[in-house]
Amino acid sequence: MLTKLKKKVQSILATEAKAAHKIGLTPNIVSAIGVVMAFLSALAYAAWQTHTFYLLLATFLLLLSGFCDALDGVIARLYHETTGFGGFLDSMLDRYADVAVYAGIIVGGLCDVLWGVAALTGSLLVSYSRARAEAAGIEMETIGLAERAERIIILAVASITAAFWQPETAMNAGIILLAVLSNLTVLQRSLHVYKKLRKQ
């Protein structure tokens, strides 16, 4: 859904991309920074019982990871550094980031384990379904309710709420919503692929 706003976001991030390129940051380096931020976010989620401040820290690091995920693509396109391996690496690191964040939430006891696994599974399959569809020549961008940007926003809202009100309840609600929406997105994409292939 939010992917439809990608061109506007890319235009807004052009200044940041130029600044990052000027100090020597390549798309792959920015991707790597993004996954490091995600792992740090996961650690903050896991340690939230020490102090609820860690939930706000986890949210900040999660959003910073998402920012890096958007910025690396802008740099690549702006300076014609787009490569096949770069796209592969970016996608792979995004999956590591997703797994780390959900694992941190589950380990921290912020959600029911089964719902956490369901949300993680849905998140991975949303990306996998797109990769498989595009390998078959079917465009999948903007198809589905919960692409990566939406999932990050839902997690951020749930985390901020959890920092100020019943952490386990707020985060579990967010994870349940993510589990439902991400798996529904997989279904939407599966139906989209089925219809496209049937026409062929």
Residues 6+ apart with CB under 8 A from 29: none
Q: Does 90 participate in catalysis according to the annotation?
A: no
Maximum C-alpha span of the chain: 56
Q: Tokens 């693509």 identify what position?
A: 73
- The active-site residue, picked from 72, 94, 98, 112, is 94
Phi/psi region, residue 166 (left: phi>0; alpha: psi -120 to 50; beta: rest), is left
Dist CA 148 CA 167 (whole Å): 23
Q: Name the helix (H) or strand (E) containing 98.
A: helix 84-107
Residues in contact with 191: Cβ distance below 8 Å, sequence separation at least 6, in sequence order: none
DSSP 118-136: HHHHHHHHHHHHHHHHHHT
CA angle, 94 then 96 then 116, to 5°: 105
Contact 178, 145 (CB under 8 A): no
Catalytically active residues are: 94
